[in-house]
Structure 1
Amino acid sequence: MSESLNGKIAVITGAASGIGLATTEKLLGAGATVVMVDRNAEALKSLTAKLGEKAVAQVTDLTDAESCAAMVPEILQKVDHIDILYCNAGLYIGGDLTETTPDAIDRMLNLNVNAVIKNVHAVVPHMTGRKTGDIIVTCSIAGHYPTYWEPVYAASKWAVTCFVQTMRRQMIPHGVRVAQVSPGPVVSALLADWPEENLRKAKESGSLMDPSEVADAVEYILTRKRTVTVRDMIVLPTNFDRV
């Protein structure tokens, strides 16, 4: 039996595009209020006007320490509480390690790893105080397999997998569920940085999936009865045969 999301309040980072936007639309359709977190203020303004009053804009730059730290307190000035935190925002670096730069590495790790840990750190006291809540993080198939064509990105997702699964165990006594969704290649802005040959082959073979498929997985995780935790859901395009 599934649980209803009607009346729940969700926070989604990276909500102005891709998986974040698809999940926003999915949860709004299920009756939830969604706080859309993104650094793109203009995009949020346009989207919340289109999506209706249950879509709430929160402009936050997760790579900026002060902005990141202010996110949860600012959100709690706009909504009564937070039932769901979906840490989805992320960056991608592909190719050989020598093809990137230290600055790019720092920026990606700050967003993919540090911001996730900080966001969870900020929301945990709120959720444990209420003795309920759901935390989900967008991981990747790269967090389960040594994807040699993207070592920096894969390292960030292995770190996320470790963090999610350790926090899942810490939160069990407090009634807070912690899970991750691990997609294969998704049609999104992140793929703009894929090695051109890999992207061409994936498109030609049908080895990409739509963000809505990941949103469906997130909804499934969230709607299990409270006595069940889906610790990770790996969602792959059927034709993706690299792993």
Structure 2
Amino acid sequence: MTDRLRGKRVLLTGGVANIGLEILQAFLAEGATVTLVDIDATRGEALERELAPRVRFIRTDLTDASQIAAAVDAAQDWMGGLDTLVLNAGIQLSGAIDELPVEKWDLTFTINVRANYLLVRAALPHLKAAGKASVVMMSSLAGKRGGPGITAYSASKAAVIGMTNSFALELAPHGIRVNAVCPGWIDTPFNKPIIDFMGGRGAQDTLVARAVPLGRQASPAEVAPMFVFLASDEASYITAQAINIDGGAYN
């Protein structure tokens, strides 16, 4: 623990499992106070009990604009301010172009894009009041380089990169930095839909061996430190970036 985030008041979405849980643990290890926003009440409430008093859980349906606004206000009230948004929540729904239901396309954009916009919009008065603030959004290598079966996911993550750039330029005069993290192949259950579409873990391992210069997937613990860095004062001159963590796959 180096206290790089001591005093940071953080709202983290999607932090009860996978990469999000690693981000939560890394932020706590660096001294942050975290409001955890997720739809999974069972896991979220268990984490609050385990990690109190530095974690509070707010069950939030990110398809509901009113719940998003209420969660931001509750986080601000509990922490006495808000200077860091970590927008990690997302979904991956895979399928061929002519087979993916339009409803799944719409849900992908509702969670991966619209919710992030609404969270930043609701938090903006608090971020401005903080004097200097950081927003870190979860994108994906898929947002820079698509692939079969992930059209909706790739398009949504490309939109996150576009939002990152626009937010960063608009909010820079207020001292608010905005960046995105773009993981490649990460060994997590989140990727099960695309693994199933590819034909199973064996097909995925073959692709990773061919496409990733480091020859393997990353663990979630190898992604979380980038979120810590971008939220910290060490990254005070970094904004409007979409940073890859991909073992060299995007080159």
Q: TM-score, normalised by structure 2?
A: 0.88
Q: Distance in 2 between matches of 1:55 and 1:129?
A: 22
Task: Indicate conservation of the 8 Å contact 2:136/2:178, yes or no.
Answer: yes
- Identity %, equivalent residues: 27
Q: Distance in 2 between matches of 1:78 and 1:85?
A: 15
Task: Indicate conservation of the 8 Å contact 1:182/1:234, yes or no.
Answer: yes
Corresponding residue for 2:12?
A: 12
- Tell me the alpha carbon deviations over residues 137-196 of structure 1, each in whole angstroms, 9 at most, x when there is no partner: 000001112334311111101111111111111111111110010001222232121124
191, 209, 214: which one pairs with 2:218? 209
196, 199, 208: which one pairs with 1:197? 199
Corresponding residue for 2:151?
A: 151
Q: Does 1:235 align with 2:237?
A: no
* Structure 2: tracts of 5 or more residues without a match: 210-214
Corresponding residue for 2:25?
A: 25
Q: Give 3-state SS (helix, strand or coil) of 2:53's partner.
A: coil
Q: Distance in 2 between matches of 1:15 and 1:98?
A: 33
- Tell me the alpha carbon deviations over residues 103-132 of structure 1, each in whole angstroms, 9 at most, x when there is no partner: 211111100000000001111121113321
Please give the root-mean-square deviation of Cα atoms over the aligned residues, in Å: 2.1
Q: Give 3-state SS (helix, strand or coil) of 1:76's partner.
A: helix
Task: Indicate conservation of the 8 Å contact 2:143/2:161, yes or no.
Answer: yes
Q: Distance in 1 between matches of 2:47 and 2:202?
A: 31
Corresponding residue for 1:219?
A: 228
Task: Give the superposition deviation at 1:209.
Answer: 1.6
Q: How does 1:79-158 map to 2 (within 5 A)?
A: 79-158=79-158
Task: Indicate conservation of the 8 Å contact 1:191/1:199, yes or no.
Answer: no
Task: Give the superposition deviation at 1:93.
Answer: 2.0
- Tell me the alpha carbon deviations over residues 185-219 of structure 1, each in whole angstroms, 9 at most, x when there is no partner: 22223212112426433346464221111101111
Task: Indicate conservation of the 8 Å contact 1:37/1:59, yes or no.
Answer: yes
Task: Give the superposition deviation at 1:242.
Answer: 7.8
Range 181-190 or range 78-87, more displaced: 181-190
Range 2-11 or range 60-69, more displaced: 2-11
Q: Distance in 1 between matches of 2:233 and 2:8?
A: 14
Task: Indicate conservation of the 8 Å contact 2:135/2:231, yes or no.
Answer: no
Corresponding residue for 2:78?
A: 78
Task: Indicate conservation of the 8 Å contact 1:3/1:223, yes or no.
Answer: no
Query: Which consecutive aligned stretches of 4+ in structure 1 deviate over 6 angstroms post-superposition?
Result: none
Q: Distance in 2 between matches of 1:233 and 1:207?
A: 19
Task: Give the superposition deviation at 1:224.
Answer: 4.3
Amino acid at match of 2:140: S
Task: Give the superposition deviation at 1:20.
Answer: 1.1
Q: Give 3-state SS (helix, strand or coil) of 1:129's partner.
A: helix
Task: Indicate conservation of the 8 Å contact 2:16/2:40, yes or no.
Answer: yes
Number of equivalent positions: 240
* Structure 1: tracts of 5 or more residues without a match: none
Corresponding residue for 2:170?
A: 170
Q: Distance in 1 between matches of 2:42 and 2:149?
A: 34
